[in-house]
């Protein structure tokens, strides 16, 4: 019995340090993972952002230059077409008959001109010394020749016009673009100049935004214009203010601002897409930009939590707020140094006693 007690005492003595270490480890809190951002100063800008839509700079309303009955429609809404491509055709029978008539008129006028020219030449060869020469007859034949040549020229112009009228029975695209409007069906009778198709030229696209009157000065003074498409939020395109509307919209009381896309725009840009346009101007101040969620109130003072990796803890740093942005960011002018890691996710749940570690997982 005494040997058993001694053995148990020896075992408990050996296990005591291990059990104590495990108890301490269990009592120690697990570091909380937080999202961090390494900060740096950059030039501050005053910026405003507005939503807009992608539109073609030129939207042409197309129609036939002659009237007639539609016999063929070769395009639909949404089709991409090239310059010179035939989009629709009219019945060419009437135009063809007019062309044949004009051709016959030219032949008759040409025969008349040839005869008048020969008669004038023969009379001219008589000379002024011939007894058969009469000045009045000479003037008559000269006038007949001039009239015949004028009628020939007129007939030739009518023939050229008839050829054009026949060509006009085919409606062609005047530039590369997309069909955005269609009011045409086979069998329909259209008048000359009636709009039957709307073609949006794709050579140049732009963003149209509606800006209130109290922000027009900021738009005019912008040093840079950045465009982000909703379908491509990570791609930033450069823009330029091309036109500011001279008249406010009667309903919204806003002015239409048209922004041209500079450089080679992505092929993924489609007409009607949604975009955000940021008009920015540098104010000469250096700031650190952080998500607005990184700034918390510590003892009533705006602060951020700065990660101390060696101690696995975060330290509150009072900061000076330069500006709050409408896009969920805040600009800080003082309080933290470049190169430090600032907690941007989970800051509101921290205190000086909570152990933390930088989150290394994926950000969704």
3-state helix, strand, coil in the chain (%, to 5): 30, 40, 30
**pTM for this model (two decimals):** 0.60
Q: Which residue has the higher pLDDT, 85 or 3?
A: 85
Query: Does residue 11 register a pLDDT over 50?
Result: no
Separation between Cα atoms, residue 321 and residue 30, nearest integer Å: 33
CA 274 to chain centre: 9
Both structure tokens of 104:
């016959």
pLDDT of 65 over the 90 cut: yes
**What 8-state DSSP symbol labels residue 95?**
H
- Under 8 Å between Cβ of 59 and 199: yes
Burial class (CB in 10 A: 0-12, 13-18, 19+), 306: buried
Kind of pairing, strands 197-201 and 68-73?
unpaired
Whether the CA torsion 341, 342, 346, 347 is positive or negative: it is: positive
Question: Which domains does the chain show, CATH number per domain?
Answer: 47-58+203-284 (2.40.30.170), 66-90+169-202 (2.40.50.100), 92-168 (1.10.287)
Instruction: Find the helix or strand (DSSP H, E) in which 299 lies.
Output: none
Tell me the pLDDT tens digit for each residue of 223-259: 889 999 988 888 888 899 999 999 999 999 999 999 9
> What are residue 304's DSSP bridge partners?
317
For residues 268 and 317, the model is more confident at 317
First to last CA, the chain: 65
Q: Is 91 exposed, middle or buried (0-12, 13-18, 19+ CB in 10 A)?
A: middle
Closest to 38 (Cα-Cα) out of 361, 340, 343: 340
pLDDT at residue number 108: 95
User: Which one, of 330, 336, 299, lies nearest residue 317 by Cα?
Assistant: 336
């Amino acid at each position: 019995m005494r040997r058993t007690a001694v053995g148990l005492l020896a075992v408990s003595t050996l296990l005591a340090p291990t059990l104590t270490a495990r108890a301490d480890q269990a009592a120690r809190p697990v570091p909380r993972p937080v999202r961090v951002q390494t900060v740096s100063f950059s030039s501050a800008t005053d910026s405003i952002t507005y939503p807009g839509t992608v539109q073609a700079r030129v939207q042409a309303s197309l129609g036939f230059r002659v009237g007639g009955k539609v016999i063929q429609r070769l395009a639909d809404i949404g089709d991409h077409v090239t310059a010179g491509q035939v989009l629709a055709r009219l019945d060419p029978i009437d135009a063809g008959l007019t062309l044949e008539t004009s051709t016959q008129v030219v032949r008759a006028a040409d025969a008349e001109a040839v005869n008048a020219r020969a008669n004038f030449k023969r009379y001219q060869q008589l000379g002024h010394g011939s007894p058969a020469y009469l000045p009045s007859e000479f003037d008559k034949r000269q006038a007949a020749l001039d009239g015949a040549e004028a009628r020939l020229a007129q007939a030739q112009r009518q023939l050229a016009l008839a050829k054009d009228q026949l060509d006009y029975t085919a409606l062609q695209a005047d530039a590369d673009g997309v069909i955005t409007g269609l009011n045409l069906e086979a069998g329909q009778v259209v008048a000359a100049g009636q709009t039957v198709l709307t073609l949006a030229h794709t050579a140049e696209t732009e963003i149209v935004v509606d800006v209130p009157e109290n922000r027009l000065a900021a738009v005019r003074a912008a040093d840079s214009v950045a465009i982000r498409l909703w379908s491509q939020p990570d791609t930033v395109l450069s823009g330029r203010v091309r036109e500011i509307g001279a008249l406010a919209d009667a309903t919204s009381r806003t002015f239409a601002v048209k922004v041209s896309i500079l450089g080679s725009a992505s092929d993924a840009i489609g007409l009607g897409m949604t975009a955000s346009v940021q008009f920015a101007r540098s104010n000469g101040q250096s700031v650190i930009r952080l998500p607005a969620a990184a700034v918390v109130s510590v003892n009533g003072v705006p602060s951020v939590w700065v990660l101390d990796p060696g101690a696995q803890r975060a330290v509150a740093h009072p900061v000076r707020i330069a500006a709050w942005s409408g896009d969920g960011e805040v600009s800080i002018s003082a309080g933290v140094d470049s190169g430090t890691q600032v907690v941007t996710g989970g800051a509101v749940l921290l205190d000086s006693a909570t152990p933390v570690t930088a989150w290394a997982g994926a950000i969704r």
